[in-house]
Amino acid sequence: MNNQFVIEIGRLHSEVQAKKPIIHHLTNYVTVNDCANIVLALGASPIMADDIEEVEDITAISSALVLNIGTLNQRTITSMLAAGKKANQCNIPVILDPVGAGASQLRNQTIARLLDQIQISILRGNMSEIRFISGSDASTQGVDASERDIANAGQTGMETAARLASKLNCVVAITGATDLISDGKRSLYIQNGHPLLSKVTGTGCMSTSLVGGFAGVTSDYFIAASAGIMCMGIAGEIAFHAVGSKGTGSFHAAIIDNISMLNDQTIAEMAKIHE
Amino acid sequence: MNNQFVIEIGRLHSEVQAKKPIIHHLTNYVTVNDCANIVLALGASPIMADDIEEVEDITAISSALVLNIGTLNQRTITSMLAAGKKANQCNIPVILDPVGAGASQLRNQTIARLLDQIQISILRGNMSEIRFISGSDASTQGVDASERDIANAGQTGMETAARLASKLNCVVAITGATDLISDGKRSLYIQNGHPLLSKVTGTGCMSTSLVGGFAGVTSDYFIAASAGIMCMGIAGEIAFHAVGSKGTGSFHAAIIDNISMLNDQTIAEMAKIHE
Amino acid sequence: MNNQFVIEIGRLHSEVQAKKPIIHHLTNYVTVNDCANIVLALGASPIMADDIEEVEDITAISSALVLNIGTLNQRTITSMLAAGKKANQCNIPVILDPVGAGASQLRNQTIARLLDQIQISILRGNMSEIRFISGSDASTQGVDASERDIANAGQTGMETAARLASKLNCVVAITGATDLISDGKRSLYIQNGHPLLSKVTGTGCMSTSLVGGFAGVTSDYFIAASAGIMCMGIAGEIAFHAVGSKGTGSFHAAIIDNISMLNDQTIAEMAKIHE
């Protein structure tokens, strides 16, 4: 399966560059610039718009909707719900990044409302966030995964992902040292990436945006999630080897560099996935 | 004319560095950091403030006002109108960047309100945005110009710019592979720049901010618009030759680098303008 | 004193990396990405959250609270007051960056409300901002210190810092060519840094965030303030020597690089402090 799967990811990567799908984001103000730049680097076209008076118009001209609650507020929560419902009506995929799930009542309630009122296509978070949403015992470290939760990667983590995917009828992706992707039936481990990625803010958000870019050109959300997350991991590895010794500022720019320079051959050569 | 015009741009560039004009921005949260950094790199002093209770105070101490609707919302629309009126009262130039014109009713209505209630000094957008505002047939691609509209650059595009400039009594600048500047009487083509600029978010916004920087030291808004847009193009060319092969993250930083390193001689040597 | 003091700063630096304290920010949308990245580069864990419904929850799980009024608005002012009161209840240090004090009535009133209702632990600003707050004659240049106020560094500036520190019962840090730190009894001059730091937006905000990082692991706020500001200065010096000749975009990334690469030895070798 893997070889064919990786070739298909390469093909989708080319398709993003050919079709330039518009990816509508309602996201946080911390990492929004990086999300826009990484979507452009992939070859898609980002648009950020969050006012209730325009989110439906913008979602309607888009090929995917990314909802990221990193700096949620009352105004943007309302807009996220409206945009998500519109996306469902238009059969546009909705990718949810539940940043900081477990860290506040507002985040927890908002995630519950989004999952209740919107059919999510892909849910991407770290181990603490996904464990919290799945109802498993989770310990939060703000917006970062806690070390105790990280220890649950592997078989236990994949079971969490698969169970939640079945329950929500969507793809669940848990990113970390090993990334776990499941749609409840299929499952995949990705071992690309580098520990330094956790020292740059927004590498999770950027992964979610890349997933949005791929979801803009395919209705197979399992492969879209895998593709976005694997590309982030590959770019992180190349970036680390190129400039990791300089520090995290240079590494940050090099992540974007290496998404913009990705091609099918690099993807094929560097993919580290297994079922 | 061109030689004298380019010398005058060099002189204004030095004047920005000497006077450090304060440039008040009400802008989007996607590219705001780049706008602030490019204004500093030019030698001016950016200030971002958008609350209705302070925008008039801040405009009153500034030398130019930049309004950018990239992530407009009800709150900031009200503030933009108040700041713009204050700028008109204080005889401070107002530079408008109508990001995503045509993409939503809210954007279209907001642009109409801004143009109706505020005397704009300089309007800078891409071909889709300006065609939409001019009432020409336009096809939107979110916040990017559509390929069909880009094909309207050249003579037809300049006629659009000139007609709109006369109607609005302001300078209209359409940026793209060739930049078109018109105040209804004078017109100018600029052929600096590089295609990779379209792969970094906010290069349009940054151009608008540079135009704001120049407008802070001269009341000739035709030359201010030309200067800001030409400097962006020159910086893009140098940045591409320096690091373009690394990717868009490095290119992004190098754009700012090369605005900060610009001098009159580089401007004179690299200017590609014709009437 | 200095040698022991610098060794203690190095020890605290290691402690930040070991404990990874969560630093809650209510800050501006211009430099928020840099603030998050520099806190990560230091080894701490940033979280940005500003909705009134969650700020108390987030403050309660944090080790320090940073309030930065760079792009304040009615909504976030209310949230800042709530978060600050919660921090006081929880005995969590509050670091205030009064960006643009003196530039608008709203900023002035907000600073007065924050100082009235919240016990601030550390106040960090430029000379214009701190002079304004202290009631001294100050001339504002938007969000930058005016040249006239900068001339007040040195003995006069330190007296301003010490008086205000005693009045507010907190540490006051005035950053500039020479940084002045006082808690009313102890005082310290830091001469690390480089003039190019003033050409990148948010270097003041980033200093404040670094101070927040150190305040997350010690209740000696005088050393926390000194440590954060000195680390910024040292990183600026190394960054300038590494890439300053390229321009401010590369310098910007290199500041983050050099915070991420800092170690006790570099701190000990480069510290330039005197009483």
Average the pLDDT over each of A39-48, A137-146, B256-265 and give the range with the smallest value.
A137-146
Contacts B73 to A, Cβ<8 Å: 50-51, 75
Percent of chain A with pLDDT over 70: 95
Q: Subunits that touch chain A (at least 3 Cβ pairs < 8 angstroms)?
A: B, C
Give yes or no for residue B146 having a pLDDT over 80: no
pLDDT digits (tens, 9 = 90+) for A153-168: 778 899 999 999 999 9
Per-residue pLDDT band at B67 (split at 50, 70, 90): very high
Q: Which residues of C touch A70 (CB under 8 A)?
A: 48
Of A33, A73, A143, the CB nearest to C47: A143
* pLDDT given for residue C140 in this prediction: 67
Cβ separation of A105 and C57 shorter than 8 Å? yes
Q: Is A30 on the interface with C (CB under 8 A)?
A: yes
Residue B258 to residue C247, Cβ atoms within 8 A: yes
Query: Do A16 and A214 meet the contact criterion of CB atoms below 8 Å apart?
Result: yes
pLDDT in tens, C76-115: 999 999 999 999 999 999 999 999 999 999 999 999 999 9
What pLDDT, on a 0 to 100 scale, did the predictor assign at position C240? 98
Strand ranges (E), chain B: 22-26, 45-48, 64-68, 94-97, 122-126, 140-141, 144-145, 171-175, 179-182, 187-190, 273-274
Provide the pLDDT for residue A188.
96
> In chain C, what residues touch A141 (CB-CB under 8 Å)?
20, 22, 45
Q: Of the candidates C51, C75, C260, which has its C-beta nearest A248's C-beta?
A: C260
User: How many beta-carbon pairs under 8 angstroms link A with C?
Assistant: 103
* Reported ipTM: 0.95
pLDDT range class, residue C142, cuts 50, 70, 90: confident
pLDDT at A87 over 60: yes
Residue A101 and residue A132 in contact, taking contact as beta carbons nearer than 8 Å: yes
- Over residues C159-200, the pLDDT tens digits come to 999 999 999 999 999 999 999 999 999 999 999 999 999 999
Query: Nearest residue of C to residue A199 by CA position?
Result: C40
B108–chain A Cβ distance below 8 A for any pair: no
Report, as an integer, the average pLDDT of A101-105: 96
Kindly report the average pLDDT of chain B as a whole number. Answer: 95
Supply the Cα-derived Rg of chain C in whole angstroms.
17
Residue B1 pLDDT > 60, yes or no? no
Residue A151 above 70 pLDDT? no
Q: For B97-142, what is each residue's pLDDT tens digit? A: 999 999 999 999 999 999 999 999 999 999 999 999 999 876 766 7
Q: Does A33 touch chain C (CB under 8 A)?
A: yes
- The domains of chain B, with CATH numbers, are 13-188+198-220 (3.40.1190.20)
Cβ–Cβ below 8 Å for B45 and C250? no
What average pLDDT does this structure show over B236-256? 98
The letter for the amino acid at A163 is R
Contact with chain A for residue C264, Cβ under 8 A: no
Q: Report A:67-86 residues touching B (Cβ under 8 A).
A: 75
C36 touching A, CB under 8 A? yes
CA distance B271 to B258: 15
Residue pair A127/A145 in contact (Cβ under 8 Å)? The answer is: yes
Chain A neighbors of B201, CB-CB under 8 A: 33, 36-37, 40, 46
Find, in chain A, the residue whose alpha carbon is nearest to that of B247. Answer: A257
B203 touches chain C (CB under 8 A): no
Cβ–Cβ below 8 Å for C71 and B49: yes
Contact criterion met (CB below 8 Å) for B220 and B269? no
Which among B34, B201, B248 is the nearest to A46, CB-wise? B201
Provide the pLDDT for residue B140: 67
Confidence of residue C143 (pLDDT cuts 50, 70, 90): confident
Shortest CA distance from A107: residue in chain C = C54
The stretches of chain C forming alpha helices (DSSP H) are: 2-19, 32-42, 55-60, 74-90, 105-117, 127-134, 147-150, 155-168, 203-215, 221-243, 248-260, 264-270
The residue behind tokens 């940045």 is: B239
* Interface membership of C243 toward A (CB under 8 Å): no
pLDDT score for C146:
75
What is the pLDDT at residue A130? 97
Q: What average pLDDT score do residues C256-261 get?
A: 98
- The SS3 assignment for A190 reads strand
- Inter-residue contact A221 to A122 (CB < 8 Å): yes
**pLDDT score for A140:** 67
Interchain contact, B33 vs C144, CB within 8 Å: no
Q: Could you say which of A73, A103, A199 has the minimum Cβ distance to residue C50?
A: A73
Cα of A33 to nearest chain B Cα, Å: 5
pLDDT band at B151 (very low <50, low <70, confident <90, very high): low
Asked whether the predicted pLDDT for residue C152 surpasses 70, the reply is: no
Give the separation between CA C13 and CA C41, rounded to whole angstroms. 11
What contacts B71, CB < 8 A, 6 or more positions away?
Answer: A48, A49, A50, B28, B29, B30
- Against chain B, the chains showing at least 3 CB pairs within 8 Å are A, C
Whose tokens are 């929880």? That residue is C90
pLDDT for the residue numbered B220: 98
* pLDDT (tens digit per residue) in C26-56: 999 999 999 999 999 999 999 999 999 999 9
Range of weakest confidence among B130-134, B253-257, C148-152: C148-152
pLDDT above 90 for A258: yes
Q: Is B19 on the interface with C (CB under 8 A)?
A: no
CA quadruple B82, B85, B90, B95: dihedral, nearest 10: 100
What are chain C's partners, defined as 3 or more CB pairs within 8 angstroms? A, B
CA distance C200 to C235: 13
Name the residue with tokens 């989708």. Answer: A12
Is pLDDT of B17 > 70? yes
8 Å CB contact of A33 and B28: no
At B21 the pLDDT is 98
For B33-42, what is the mean pLDDT? 98
Whether this prediction's pTM lies above 0.95 is answered by: yes
- The rounded distance, in Å, linking the Cα atoms of A234 and A203 is 13
**Closest chain C CA to residue A198:** C40
CB contacts, 8 Å: C257 with chain A: 246-250
List the single residue in A41, A54, A256 with the smallest CB-CB distance to B107: A54
Phi/psi at C257 (5° precision): -50, -50
CB < 8 Å to B30, chain C = none
Of residues A36, A58, A62, nearest to B30 (C-beta): A36
